[in-house]
């Protein structure tokens, strides 16, 4: 059975990146950390579920399952853990360390997407992966320099640029999927 929900994964990531940009810029030193819990939790739940399914079942062709499934799973578990940590007042350092290694994986994937020319727009997808995952690599320094507004502004700007790349990719994919799948019929109905 062919299932393609990368569009959902992309738009969920867009929402998550905008929330994270807001958190990096306004929330990381805020007295009210709990306001980000619902957004991080929802983003994490969708990413974790779709990423886990894609990682275990490979519903689409080729290495897209690795590039999008596994990185979305890592993205999702980090957002869920961040929501839990913020709700319980835990320190985010161990999540930042985990995000560093998850970010490195996605940076490698971004360069490899460009190198192999996979996706319809490999340069844009590769840059999207690289910028998105730089946030993971820079998570620990951001926690350390959380009082440095310039560092946080740069971080938020990178996250917003990455979100805009994925928004363009995701909304165009929705536009195209509605056309290309309009006559698709599940196997039991054929």
Does residue 188 fall inside a structural domain? no
Give the Cα separation of 93 and 148 in Å (integer).
17
What's the number of domains the chain is made of?
1
Does residue 185 fall inside a structural domain? no
Does residue 186 fall inside a structural domain? no
Domain, as residue range, for 143? 6-179
Look at residue 187 in the predicted model and tell me its pLDDT.
73
Instruction: Show Cβ contacts of residue 9 under 8 Å, excluding neighbours closer than 6 positions.
Output: 46, 47, 50, 51, 54, 68, 72
Question: What tens digit of pLDDT does each residue of 61-91 get?
Answer: 889 899 999 999 999 999 999 999 999 999 9
Does residue 101 fall inside a structural domain? yes
Residue 1 pLDDT greater than 60, yes or no: no
pLDDT band at 2 (very low <50, low <70, confident <90, very high): low
Does residue 184 fall inside a structural domain? no
CATH number at residue 166: 1.25.40.600
Question: What tens digit of pLDDT does each residue of 123-169 get?
Answer: 999 999 999 988 888 888 888 888 889 999 999 999 999 999 999 99
Cα Rg of the chain (Å, integer): 17
Q: Minimal CA–CA distance to 14: which of 180, 165, 156, 190?
A: 165
Does residue 189 fall inside a structural domain? no
Does residue 122 fall inside a structural domain? yes
Report yes or no on whether pTM surpasses 0.85: yes
């Amino acid at each position: 059975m062919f299932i393609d929900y990368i569009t959902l994964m992309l738009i969920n990531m867009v929402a998550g990146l905008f929330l994270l940009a807001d958190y990096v810029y306004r929330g990381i030193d805020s007295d009210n950390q709990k306001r980000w819990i619902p957004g991080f939790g929802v983003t994490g739940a969708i990413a974790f579920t779709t990423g886990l399914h894609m990682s275990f079942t490979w519903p689409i062709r080729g290495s897209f399952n690795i590039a999008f499934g596994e990185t979305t799973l890592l993205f999702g578990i980090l957002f869920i853990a961040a929501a839990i940590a913020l709700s319980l007042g835990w320190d985010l350092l161990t999540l930042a360390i985990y995000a560093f290694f998850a970010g490195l994986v996605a940076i490698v994937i971004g360069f490899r997407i460009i190198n192999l020319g996979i996706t319809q727009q490999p340069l844009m997808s590769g840059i999207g992966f690289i910028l998105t995952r730089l946030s993971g690599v820079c998570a620990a320094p951001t926690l350390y320099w959380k009082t440095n507004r310039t560092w946080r502004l740069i971080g938020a700007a990178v996250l917003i640029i990455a979100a805009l790349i994925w928004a363009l990719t995701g909304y165009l994919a929705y536009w195209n999927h509605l056309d290309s799948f309009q006559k698709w019929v599940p196997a039991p109905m054929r």
